[in-house]
Amino acid sequence: MKFSTRAIHTGQEADPTTGATIVPIYATSTYTQEAVGVNKGFDYSRTVNPTRVALEKQLASLEDAAYCSAFSSGMGATNTVMNLLSAGDHVVVGEDLYGGTYRLFSKVYERYGITFSYVDAAVPENVRAALRANTKLIWLETPTNPLLNLVDIASVTALKTAGVLLCVDNTFASPYFQRPLALGADIVVHSTTKYIGGHSDVVGGAVITNDADIAQRVKFHQNAVGAVPGPFDAFLTMRGAKTLALRMREHAKNAGEVARFLAGRSDVAKVYYPGLESHPQYALAKRQMRGFGGMVSLVPAGPVERAMAFARSLKLFSLAESLGGVESLINHPARMTHGSIPKEERERRGITDSLLRLSVGIEDVEDLIADLRQALDTTAELASAKA
Ligand code: P1T
C-alpha cells in the first residue's frame, strides 16, 4: 500500500469489540484479567494500551519500518535512545540541532559519563574524523533546526564502523519527504508534536527502527522509564497523521513560494531553504528528499531591532515555539528554541540574534506573502540602520 493509504488504514482496523471504525480512546490504566497471567495481551497501560499500539503501527508504516515506540514528547523519544548507552560511551553529534536535544546531551548525559563530539556533519568526513573506539552513536538532524543544513545520510552510513548506531531526527522532513532507514540509518526519532500531529494540539514523540534487537531494547526502556503518551494524545496524533501527505505537499508548496519571495527582497540579508537553487546543498536535497519541507529561516537586513520589529509586525505568523502545525509561526531561535546553547557557541554555528525561523503553514500563500511584505515594508527604514 502507498503512503497515504497506510496513514489512514495501518493499525486502524475496526475495533474488534464494537466495530467502531475509528480506533477508540482506550482511557484505562489497567485491564481485568481472567486469572493471574491470563489476559487479552494487555495488562497495564504504561506497558501497553490499544490506542497507543494503533498509533505505533501507523507511525512505523509511515517510515516503512517494522517497529515503533511512541512517547509523551520528542524529548522523551530522544531520551530513550540515549538510555541505550552506558557510562563511558561516546556520541558524535551533528552540531546544528534543536536546543533541547543539546541541553539533554550536555546537562544530563554528560553527568552520566557519556561524552559528545559536536561536528559540522554537512561534511561527512568530519563525522569520520570524530569517531573513537568507544563511539556508540551518531546523532543527526537533517534538515537541521534552525539553519536547514542537510546531512548526506547515505554517506554517513557508509563511513560508520561496526557497533556504531546512526540515529536521525527526521522531525523537520517528516516521513513523507524523507526515509532515513532506507538510507542506512538504524533509528529514526520524531517529535510528533510537529508535522506528524500537525495541528499544534498535542505533544509526542516516536522511536522507529527495523532492527528487532534495538526495538526490543527501546520497548524495555519505554516501559521501564515510562515517558508514554496517554490514549488521548495517541488518538490526536493518529488523527493528525492521517492527513500528513496532504499537509506536507501544501507546506512545501507554500514554503517554496515564501522562500522565493524573501530571496527576491533586497532588504532580506539571508534566506535558508533547501528548495532554493542557491542553497549550498540543493543537489543533495533533491536526491535525499522527496520535497523540501515547510521550514524557512531568514535574516532581515539591518540590526537586531529590525528583525524583532519585523517579527512583531506579522499578523498571521504567531510568535511561538514549535513548528509543523497548519498555522504559520515565527520563532527567534537565539532567545527561544536555541536559548539553551551558550551565545558564543550559538553564534559560531550561525545562529545569530537576527536569525528568524518560519514554520510556513497551509493558509493561502497569497495571504502569507502579503503579511510578510507588509511586515518588511513597515520596518524598512530600520533596515539601513547600523547593526
Ligand atoms: O518538543 P518535543 O516534542 O519534546 O520535541 C523535541 C524536538 C526534537 N527534535 C527536533 C528537531 C525538534 O525541533 C524538537 C522540538 N522543537 C521545537 C519545539 C522547536 O520549536 O524547534
45-95 confidence digits (pLDDT tens): 999 999 999 999 999 999 999 999 999 999 999 999 999 999 999 999 999
What pLDDT was estimated at residue 385? 72
Question: Please, where in the chain does CATH 3.90.1150.10 lie?
Answer: 244-382
Could you confirm whether 306 is annotated as catalytic?
no
127-148: per-residue pLDDT in tens? 999 999 999 999 999 999 999 9
Sorting pLDDT into bands at 50, 70 and 90, what band is 386? low
pLDDT average, residue stretch 81-110? 97
Domain spanning 244-382, CATH class = alpha beta
268-310: per-residue pLDDT in tens? 999 999 999 999 999 999 999 999 999 999 999 999 999 999 9
- Ligand 1 atom nearest to CA at 146: 21
Among the options 89, 96, 152, 169, which is catalytic?
169
Nearest CA to ligand 1 atom 2: 74
pLDDT average, residue stretch 305-330? 97
Q: Locate 211 and state its grid cell.
A: 532492527
Answer whether 93's CB lies under 8 Å from 341's CB.
no
Measured in Å, residue 302 CA sits from the centre of ligand 1 at 29
Pick the CATH number of 3-241 from 3.30.565.10, 3.30.70.360, 3.40.718.10, 3.40.640.10: 3.40.640.10
- The pLDDT > 70 percentage for the chain reads 99
Measured in Å, residue 190 CA sits from the centre of ligand 1 at 8
Average pLDDT over the chain reads 97
Of the candidates 316, 340, 339, which has an alpha carbon nearest to the alpha carbon of residue 328?
Answer: 316
Task: Give every strand in the sheet of 356-359, ordered side by side.
Answer: 268-272, 295-300, 356-359, 329-331, 318-319
Measured in Å, residue 191 CA sits from the centre of ligand 1 at 6
Reply yes or no on whether the pLDDT at 349 is more than 90: no
As beta bridge partners, residue 115 has: 90
- Ligand 1 atom nearest to CA at 172: 11
144-181: per-residue pLDDT in tens? 999 999 999 999 999 999 999 999 999 999 999 999 99
CB atoms within 10 A of CB 84: 18
Reply yes or no on whether the pLDDT at 106 is more than 60: yes
- Ligand 1 atom nearest to CA at 336: 20
Measured in Å, residue 201 CA sits from the centre of ligand 1 at 14
CB atoms within 10 A of CB 313: 16
Of the candidates 188, 242, 243, which has an alpha carbon nearest to the alpha carbon of residue 67?
Answer: 188
Ligand 1 touching residue 169 (CB < 6 A): yes
- The pLDDT > 90 percentage for the chain reads 96
What value, to the nearest 5°, has the Cα angle with vertex 129 and ends 96 and 273? Answer: 30
pLDDT average, residue stretch 338-346? 90
Ligand 1 touching residue 203 (CB < 6 A): yes
Q: How far apart are CA 88 and CA 386, in angstroms?
A: 49
Dihedrals φ, ψ of 108, to 5°? Answer: -110, -60
Q: Summarize the chain as % helix, strand, coil (round to 5).
A: 40, 15, 45
Answer whether 168's CB lies under 8 Å from 187's CB.
yes
Q: How far apart are CA 291 and CA 254, in angstroms?
A: 12
Q: Locate 135 and state its grid cell.
A: 563511539
What is this structure's pTM? 0.97
Q: DSSP letters of 114-171?
A: -EEEEE-TTSHHHHHHH--TTEEEEEEESS-TTT-----HHHHHHHPPTT-EEEEE-T
Ligand 1 touching residue 98 (CB < 6 A): yes
Out of 82, 98, 208, 317, mutate this one to test ligand 1's pocket (max ligand atoms within 8 Å of CB): namely 98
Question: Please, where in the chain does CATH 3.40.640.10 lie?
Answer: 3-241
Measured in Å, residue 295 CA sits from the centre of ligand 1 at 13
C-alpha gyration radius of the chain: 21
Reply yes or no on whether the pLDDT at 187 is more than 70: yes
Could you confirm whether 46 is annotated as catalytic?
yes
Ligand 1 touching residue 71 (CB < 6 A): no
Sorting pLDDT into bands at 50, 70 and 90, what band is 234? very high
Nearest CA to ligand 1 atom 5: 74
Ligand 1 touching residue 205 (CB < 6 A): yes
What pLDDT was estimated at residue 340? 86
Measured in Å, residue 98 CA sits from the centre of ligand 1 at 6
What pLDDT was estimated at residue 81? 98
Ligand 1 touching residue 208 (CB < 6 A): no
Ligand 1 touching residue 51 (CB < 6 A): no
Ligand 1 touching residue 102 (CB < 6 A): no
Instruction: Please enumerate in sequence order all residues whose Cβ is within 8 A of that of 347, keeping only pairs 6 or more positions apart, or say none.
Output: none
What pLDDT was estimated at residue 387? 55
Angstrom distances, CA of residue 178 to CA of 122, 166, 290: 17, 15, 6
Measured in Å, residue 317 CA sits from the centre of ligand 1 at 18
Answer whether 65's CB lies under 8 Å from 208's CB.
yes
Among the options 31, 46, 211, 282, which is catalytic?
46
